[in-house]
Amino acid sequence: MTAVDVTEHESWFHRNQQRIAPWLFLAPGVLFFMVYVIIPVFQSFNLSLYEWDGLGAAEYVGMRNYEDLYWEWVDRDAFYVSLKNNLIWLVMYLLAIPAGLFIALFLNQTVWGIRLYKSLFFFPFVISQVVVGLVFTWFYDPTFGLLNEFLSWFGLGPVNVLGDERFVTYGIIFAGLWPQTAYCMILYLTGLNAVDPEQIEAGRLDGAKGGRMLWHIILPQLRPATFIAFVVTIIGALRSFDLISIMTQGGPFGSSRVLAYYMFEVALSEYGFRMGYGAAIAVVLFLIMLCFIAYFLWSMYREEKGH
Amino acid sequence: MFPKPIEKQPRAAQISYQALLPVALLLWLGPLLAVALFSIKPEADFTNANYWGLPSSFEGARNYGQVFFNSDMPRYLLNSFLITVPTVIGAVALSCMTGFALGIYKFKSNLWIFFMFVAGNFVPFQILMVPVRDLTLDLGLYNTKTGLVLFHIAFQTGFCTLFMRNFIRALPFELIEAARVEGISEWRIFWCVVLPLMKPAIAALSVLIFTFIWNDYFWAVVLTQGAESQPVTAGITSFNAQFRAAYHLMSAGSIVAALPPVAMFFLMQKHFIAGLTLGAVK
């Protein structure tokens, strides 16, 4: 290579570098993300049209996996129970938002030691869901659990929360609400910190206090915090897997399954390697999630255009 | 400030607030404190059904000693570190670059690429599960830490890009324009101008990703199997199978498994909360 070539090359790059540079910066990240996230989504869509045990040849079956799900021909009372539980998770999990707001309001003071209190209240969020699951499994234990110890003070009989089809899903959700509430609390504490004091003063002069002040003056200013709390709580609810896997493994009799867990059970656990069928369940879950993702992106898009 | 500062309330309200705080905290952390209590009890307390009384003897050292010297726990902890640290480095490095590209340059597909990262970050894990497992098997990385690390880096890049891009957007753009007028190359602008300003974002993101990855359970179960590569979240289930019904040991094991991210949180609290609440305030 001659010296002339090098300078020419350099000057071409130099002239165009503002156009090329972003692509060079993006390349490794986008490549990784494509290979491990974006392409697999489409592969799963494709796979849901096949019957495959993960080893042999895959057989094209068209929409049969979806028909099996719809009519529950393969697993009785699995798909709709999971779907229903997903819905319960979605609704109940949202309680983390008002609960987090409540605790944030309770802790938004400046007394001695309050910083440590805030940290300790936040602490459950940092612990892994596996440990949260174990902690609450013991909490609910019918022979020595703290819950039944507590109930017995009031003369109430032992309740086997995780062994009872009526309570099990709520019991797991309650465990999940513990870290999630902590997360919402920290979002609101940060939000409350930034509330405009002049508006509060103006509100006080107008005679607003307590609930009315909260509703008309504080909450509108907490909107960004509420939006994030909403996003992470919805995503968290639909991702619920760890707690179910640790606490009940979907039981008793599959009554605490959600789609995420059911899919795993079908595709990878001892119940067999039905990859195509599992992919179909994943697609259903993905489509539910997609409604929310679309809404989040739309909100972000409006925000971007607003700037 | 809202609610009204307690110092401006009557004395009685102040005292009851101060009294209520520890009670509320005790209730809030109750289930966890119970496990901590279990972890220092001797085995005999469980056979004698002395679950909630004071420990008949203090066996903390013995129980935790068992966890550290007589189980696979140290192995699992080491695996967790060897998975978490490279992931943090990889994801932060990649997202510094993607965040820079999306935050600084104006080009047509900018917003679409950004949205691809954001949307990908929200997908349910299950829709990636089978293809990612196959890919990892094909690469010969099934049941290795590397396989897990590669996936984690890729997936976390989504969230990290969102974070970095928004952070870079808030930096003063005049700095970059001034550097360009000086004729500084784009790479040097990234390395010498923008990267030093991103230190707080890098710190916040590192702590967050450390916690997320340390606490991951799903991918550990999907991509690894044995003690040689499983992180502690997956290992704890084998640990519990080994010590079935030995509640004092299972409790101690759980506490040990939970500790590193907790330590990280208390040491880096400011960064951690800054990271989690980015965007919570306008």
Parse chain A into domains and list their residue ranges. Answer: 3-47, 74-306
Work out the pLDDT band at A56, boundaries 50, 70, 90: confident
CB contact under 8 A, A195 and B2: yes
Instruction: Identify whether residues B42 and B156 lie together within a single domain.
Output: no
Instruction: Identify whether residues B217 and B117 lie together within a single domain.
Output: yes
Residue B194 token pair: 């923008």
Instruction: Identify whether residues B160 and B23 lie together within a single domain.
Output: no
Work out the pLDDT band at A19, boundaries 50, 70, 90: confident
B 221-240: CB under 8 A from A: 221-222, 233, 236-237, 240
Dmax over CA atoms of chain A, in Å, equals 93
Helix %, strand %, coil % of chain A (to 5): 75, 0, 25
Instruction: Identify whether residues B48 and B79 lie together within a single domain.
Output: no
In a domain, B281, yes or no: no
In a domain, B97, yes or no: yes
Instruction: Identify whether residues B78 and B204 lie together within a single domain.
Output: yes
Would you identify the CATH topology of the domain A74-306?
MetI-like fold (1.10.3720)
Instruction: Identify whether residues B41 and B117 lie together within a single domain.
Output: no
Residue B254 with chain A: CB contacts under 8 Å: 131, 134-135
Q: Is the ipTM of this complex over 0.85?
A: yes
Which of B33, B59, B85 is the endpoint of a domain?
B59
At residue A60, the pLDDT reads: 93
Yes or no: say if A275 and B130 are a contact pair by the CB < 8 Å rule.
yes
Instruction: Identify whether residues B190 and B50 lie together within a single domain.
Output: no
Instruction: Identify whether residues B175 and B245 lie together within a single domain.
Output: yes
Q: Which residues of B257-274 are buried (b: 16+ CB within 10 A; e: fewer)?
A: bbebbbebbeebeebbbb
CB contact under 8 A, A144 and B51: yes
At residue A2, the pLDDT reads: 44
In a domain, B247, yes or no: yes
pLDDT digits (tens, 9 = 90+) for B118-131: 999 999 999 999 99
Yes or no: say if B217 and B233 are a contact pair by the CB < 8 Å rule.
yes
* pTM for the model: 0.93
Instruction: Identify whether residues B39 and B171 lie together within a single domain.
Output: no
Number of domains, chain B: 2
pLDDT digits (tens, 9 = 90+) for A117-139: 999 999 899 999 999 999 999 99
Work out the pLDDT band at B3, boundaries 50, 70, 90: confident
CB contact under 8 A, A293 and B123: yes
Pick from B280, B268, B158: which is nearest to A184 by CA? B280
Q: How many CB atoms lie within 10 A of CB A16?
A: 10
Residue B176 with chain A: CB contacts under 8 Å: none
Instruction: Identify whether residues B77 and B49 lie together within a single domain.
Output: no
Going from the C-alpha of A131 to that of each of A121, A234, B33, B126, the distances in angstroms are: 17, 22, 13, 22
In a domain, B194, yes or no: yes
Going from the C-alpha of A73 to that of each of A65, A252, B65, B103, the distances in angstroms are: 10, 21, 52, 50
Instruction: Identify whether residues B195 and B264 lie together within a single domain.
Output: yes
The continuous run of DSSP H or E covering A50 comes out as strand A50-51
Work out the pLDDT band at A3, boundaries 50, 70, 90: very low
User: What three-state secondary structure class fits A51?
Assistant: strand
User: What three-state secondary structure class fits A22?
Assistant: helix
Identify the burial level of A190 via C-beta atoms within 10 angstroms of its C-beta, where 0-12 means exposed, 13-18 middle and 19 or more buried. Answer: buried
- Kindly report the CATH number assigned to the domain that includes residue B93: 1.10.3720.10
Q: Is B262 on the interface with A (CB under 8 A)?
A: yes
For residue B43, the enclosing domain spans 6-59
